[in-house]
Amino acid sequence: MNEIKYCEGCGVELQTEFPKKIGYIPPSALDKEQHICQRCFRIKHYNEVIPIEMDEDDFLQILNNISMSDSIVIHLVDLFDIDGTFITGLHRFIGDNPFIMVANKIDLFPKSTNKIKVKQWLANYAKEHGLFPEEIFLISAEKNIGLMDVAQYIEANRKGKDVLVVGATNVGKSTFINRLIPIIHQDTEIELTTSRYPGTTLNIVRIPLSDGNYIIDTPGVIHKERLSEWVSPETLKAISPRKTIKPKVYQLIGEQSLFWGGLARIDQVRKTRNSFVCYLSNDIPIHRTRINKADEIYDKHLGELLSPPSKEEAELLPRFQKHSFKISGKGKTDVVISGLGWVTIDGEVTNVDVYVPKGIGVHVRKALI
Ligand code: GDP
């Protein structure tokens, strides 16, 4: 494409190279009379929002432009990876707008999960990041849990405002918006077309509601520290839990290691006795070994016994980097590997080393569940 063209729906500059990036138009569609990007096309013809990606700096720039808007702001986070999907700079842009947090994928948590405790945990977490949501909802966009409550809140508080949805990639933002539209878009006479945000050439699409306001779909922010941003589509499938997670309990006595496939290694490096409860996709096998054997096993069996990743993919992923933590022994502690899962450690004061591909985030937190 030589000449610069713009989408007639949202105004974004069109490109034909990167299907998941903003402004993508299939080359064949350039012959058509009307040039609209794939995202606008799908909303218009299939009433369906598709995910679009953008890095955090560009995204915060966009938010800067719309912070003056009169909107209900919905921050969607992924309960399976809260640190990796939380947009840290958000508090600067919310202004006086009503703000709610919607935590998706509650279907992955065991049935026994204390939801009040999880909400309290999220409220504290938000507060530490300067955010004070008016409400926190635990939902599953895919399994249709809790969506009605969110829709009711929106309806009761909208009062002529737009609904602005922000979230990281893969939190389920598209699924959420696609489910939300039919609930709050009662007037089916209106055709779902997209439009440009007034006065700007933002990469944002506005989906009209029957009262003249809009649901605003922003691009999904890419957080590079999440393992999910690095792996192949097959491995992504394996690490993304589809069903309720069955926590796997290991009593570690002394210096032992747990391998999560070949994607992470968690060592108890002191002669202590602790329970390590692993929350991760049921498709990732766990192998327990002694620490003094772990290096050898990794070198010999990566991509085979220790998989995913496959041997080929293992060559492409960054080498393991060590993260060391002291576990206080006061209450339960989670060690979270961004995009992969977490281990809840309970018992004595101990030290833990976590090995993950370089660049992947590892965080310690007070146990979530
Ligand atoms: P987006 O990138 O934020 O727009 O996310 P998508 O809507 O494309 O969803 C990303 C992934 O999360 C997909 O594999 C979905 O199937 C999955 N997903 C979305 N909502 C849920 C949910 O409520 N529970 C679970 N377990 N997975 C979900």
This prediction's pTM: 0.88
User: Which pLDDT score is estimated for 106?
Assistant: 98
User: Which pLDDT score is estimated for 40?
Assistant: 84
Question: Mean pLDDT, to the nearest integer, of 217-227?
Answer: 87
Residue nearest to atom 12 of ligand 1 (CA): 172
pLDDT grade for 187, boundaries at 50, 70 and 90:
low
> Which string of DSSP letters, residue by residue, matches 314-360?
HHHSPPEEEEEEEE--SS-EEEEETTTEEEEEEES-EEEEEEEETT-
**253 and 309 assigned to the same domain:** yes
Residue nearest to atom 7 of ligand 1 (CA): 172
Whole-angstrom distance between the N-terminal and C-terminal Cα of the chain? 51
In a domain? residue 246 = yes
Q: Are the CB atoms for 280 and 245 separated by under 8 Å?
A: yes
| Residues comprising the chain, all counted | 369
CA-169 nearest atom, ligand 1: 2
Alpha helices in 215-317 (DSSP H): 233-239, 291-301, 311-316
**179 and 295 assigned to the same domain:** no
Q: Which residues contact 127 (CB under 8 A, 6 or more apart)?
A: none
CATH number for position 48? 3.40.50.300
Q: Please indicate whether residue 174, judged by its CB atom, sits closer than 6 Å to ligand 1.
A: yes
Q: Cα of 294 to ligand 1 centre, how many Å?
A: 34
Q: Which residues contact 216 (CB under 8 A, 6 or more apart)?
A: 66, 69, 71, 162, 163, 164, 165, 197, 204, 205, 206, 207
Question: Is a pLDDT exceeding 90 seen at residue 279?
Answer: yes
Question: Is a pLDDT exceeding 60 seen at residue 206?
Answer: yes
Q: Cα of 195 to ligand 1 centre, how many Å?
A: 25
- From 175, 217, 235, the mutation candidate for ligand 1 (largest count of ligand atoms within 8 A of CB) is 175
CA atoms of 367 and 163, how far apart (whole Å): 32
Give residue-wise pLDDT tens across range 245-269.
999 999 999 999 999 999 999 999 9
Q: Please indicate whether residue 322, judged by its CB atom, sits closer than 6 Å to ligand 1.
A: no
pLDDT grade for 215, boundaries at 50, 70 and 90:
confident
Question: Is a pLDDT exceeding 60 seen at residue 197?
Answer: no
Q: In this prediction, does ipTM exceed 0.85? A: yes
**190 and 299 assigned to the same domain:** no
In what helix (H) or strand (E) does residue 241 lie, and over which residues does it extend?
Answer: none
Provide the mean pLDDT of the chain. 89
Residue nearest to atom 15 of ligand 1 (CA): 172
**37 and 155 assigned to the same domain:** yes
Question: Is a pLDDT exceeding 80 seen at residue 63?
Answer: no
CA-167 nearest atom, ligand 1: 3
User: Which pLDDT score is estimated for 198?
Assistant: 46
CA-139 nearest atom, ligand 1: 23
Other CB atoms within 10 A of residue 208 CB: 17
Phi, psi of 151 (to 5 degrees): -60, -40
Give residue-wise pLDDT tens across range 103-121.
999 999 999 999 999 999 9
Query: Which structural domain range is residue 253 located in?
Result: 229-366
Report the number of distinct structural domains present in the chain. Answer: 2
CA atoms of 85 and 221, how far apart (whole Å): 8
